[in-house]
């Protein structure tokens, strides 16, 4: 199977859906003339023209509102934020209009719209450009929230998101755009709300999503050399969450560690922990451990940033703690 970059998977998904449906449009800062801030829309202006690939002003609230109105009138916009940190400017349109219009209109309006762009830390970008808002958006009824971890999942999930009749948030990572992975040339989609077991195991369940899945897989490789078998579950979608896959895994391993690149309070890991103790408490042989970022804004200094982010060594320690608990 061919290998392509994450950014190419994004471009392929959008281009294929734009060929499939003339109502699909792309809009955002630098998506057209510049081929995207991260070259994730390369070649799309040439193929689809300026009426379907639109460069916007630096005005997220404005173009998010335009996109919601366009969706109400039959188009299927894809809105790219240069970073989801900038989506805070547009959050009123996302939360109070896109997410609620179907209910407030009594079902007269669907909002088939995708908001996508980078999330969480991307290196030394400091406090206001290193935030993970997955749990913020997942907290809002009316939205679906997707966080892919590799090119194959990215393409399949993004195509499904574009075809969805309701608003979908698709959150990526700047540090993954150059990652390569196997992606088939034939048509495929991945249903939203279905987790994927990235590595089967028997001793400890690790639940995660997004780019930090790579840390979980690295830890799994290292622990395997010590005879410890991790089951690594990639949620892929954090609203709706595939609780059943997590619960069935915990019933098998009897231990759970949640790994997430976000602040601890109100995190996805907190929600997973609650649901596991509610539905599988009697199967747990140790308390659930949650690994997140430090409860502080991200620093710019590389040493402080390293201390801010969860890492492989912390995960290995957490796994051993739930495994060897007295």
Find the mean pLDDT for residues 283-294. Answer: 97
Dig out the tokens for 193 from the structure: 């709300």
Same domain, 22 and 116: yes
Same-domain pairing of 129 and 255: no
Q: What is the mean pLDDT of residues 80-92?
A: 96
Phi, psi dihedral angles at 221 (to 5 degrees)? -65, -45
Instruction: Locate all alpha helices (DSSP H) within the chain, ordered by sequence.
Output: 6-20, 44-48, 60-72, 87-93, 101-104, 134-138, 151-163, 213-224, 243-253, 268-280, 302-308, 312-323
Query: Given this model, what pLDDT does residue 300 score?
Result: 94
Q: What is the mean pLDDT of the chain?
A: 97
Domain assignment of residue 175, yes or no: yes
Confidence bin at 14 (pLDDT 50/70/90): very high
State pTM to two decimals.
0.96
pLDDT of 246-285, one tens digit each?
999 999 999 999 999 999 999 999 999 999 999 999 999 9
For residue 215, which phi and psi values (nearest 5 degrees)? -65, -40
57 falls within a domain: yes
Does 33 have pLDDT greater than 70? Answer: yes
> Of 128, 177, 131, nearest to 154 (Cα)?
177
Residue 232, φ and ψ in degrees, nearest 5: -105, 115
Say yes or no: 225 and 164 in one domain. no
What are the residues facing 208 on neighbouring strands?
A: 234
Q: Is 257 within the bounds of a domain?
A: yes
In a domain, 118, yes or no: yes
Whether residues 200 and 247 fall in one domain: yes
Could you say which DSSP state residue 37 is in? T
Q: 201 and 308 share a domain?
A: yes
Flag whether 65 is in a domain: yes
Residue 130 belongs to a domain with what CATH number?
3.40.50.970
pLDDT of 1 reads: 87
In 3D, which of 17, 237, 210 has the Cα closest to residue 112?
17
Mean pLDDT value across residues 37-64: 97
Tell me how many domains the chain contains.
Answer: 2
Is 158 in the same domain as 235?
no
The pLDDT of residue 256: 98
Same domain, 67 and 152: yes
88 half-sphere exposure, CB direction, 13 A CA radius = 10
Mark whether 158 and 27 lie in a shared domain: yes
| Residues 213, 254 within the same domain | yes
Domain boundary among 182, 213, 237: 182
Asked if residue 124 is part of any domain, the answer here is yes
Per-residue pLDDT tens for 95-135? 999 999 999 999 999 999 999 999 999 999 999 999 999 99
Q: Is the pLDDT of residue 326 over 60?
A: no
pLDDT tens digits along 145-168: 999 999 999 999 999 999 999 999
CB 252 within 8 A of CB 221: no
Domain that holds residue 311: 196-323
CA 245 remoteness from chain centre: 18
In a domain, 164, yes or no: yes
In terms of domains, do 14 and 109 share one?
Answer: yes
DSSP string covering 80-118: E-S-TTTHHHHHHHIIIIITTHHHHTTTS-----EEEEE
Tell me which residues are annotated as active site: 60, 129
């Amino acid at each position: 199977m061919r290998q392509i970059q994450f950014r190419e998977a994004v471009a392929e998904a959008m281009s294929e859906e734009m060929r499939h449906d003339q109502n699909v449009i792309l809009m955002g800062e630098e998506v057209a003339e510049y081929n995207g801030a991260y070259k994730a829309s390369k070649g799309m202006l040439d193929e689809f023209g300026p009426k379907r690939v639109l460069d916007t002003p630096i005005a997220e609230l404005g173009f998010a509102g335009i996109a919601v109105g366009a969706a109400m009138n039959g188009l299927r916009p894809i809105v790219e934020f240069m970073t989801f940190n900038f989506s805070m400017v547009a959050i009123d349109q996302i939360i109070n209009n896109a997410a609620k219009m179907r209910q407030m209109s009594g079902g007269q309006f669907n909002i088939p719209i995708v908001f996508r762009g980078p999330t969480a830390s991307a290196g030394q970008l400091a406090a206001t450009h290193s935030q993970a808002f997955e749990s913020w958006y997942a907290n809002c009824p009316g939205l679906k929230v997707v966080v892919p971890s590799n090119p194959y999942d990215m393409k399949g999930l993004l195509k499904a998101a574009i075809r969805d009749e309701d608003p979908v948030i698709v959150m990526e990572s700047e540090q993954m755009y150059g990652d390569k992975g196997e992606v088939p040339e034939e048509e495929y989609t991945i249903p939203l709300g279905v987790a994927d077991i990235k590595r089967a195991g028997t001793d400890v369940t690790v639940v995660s999503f997004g780019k930090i899945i790579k840390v979980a897989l690295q830890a799994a490789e290292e622990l395997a050399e010590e005879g410890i078998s991790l089951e690594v579950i990639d949620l892929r979608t954090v609203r709706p969450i595939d609780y059943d896959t997590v619960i069935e895994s915990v019933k098998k391993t009897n231990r759970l560690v949640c790994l997430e690149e976000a602040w601890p309070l109100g995190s996805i890991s907190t929600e997973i922990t609650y649901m596991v103790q509610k539905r599988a408490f009697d199967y747990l042989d140790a308390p659930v451990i949650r690994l997140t970022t430090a409860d502080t804004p991200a620093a710019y200094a590389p040493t402080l940033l390293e201390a801010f982010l969860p890492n492989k060594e912390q995960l290995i320690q957490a796994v051993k703690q739930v495994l060897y608990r007295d």
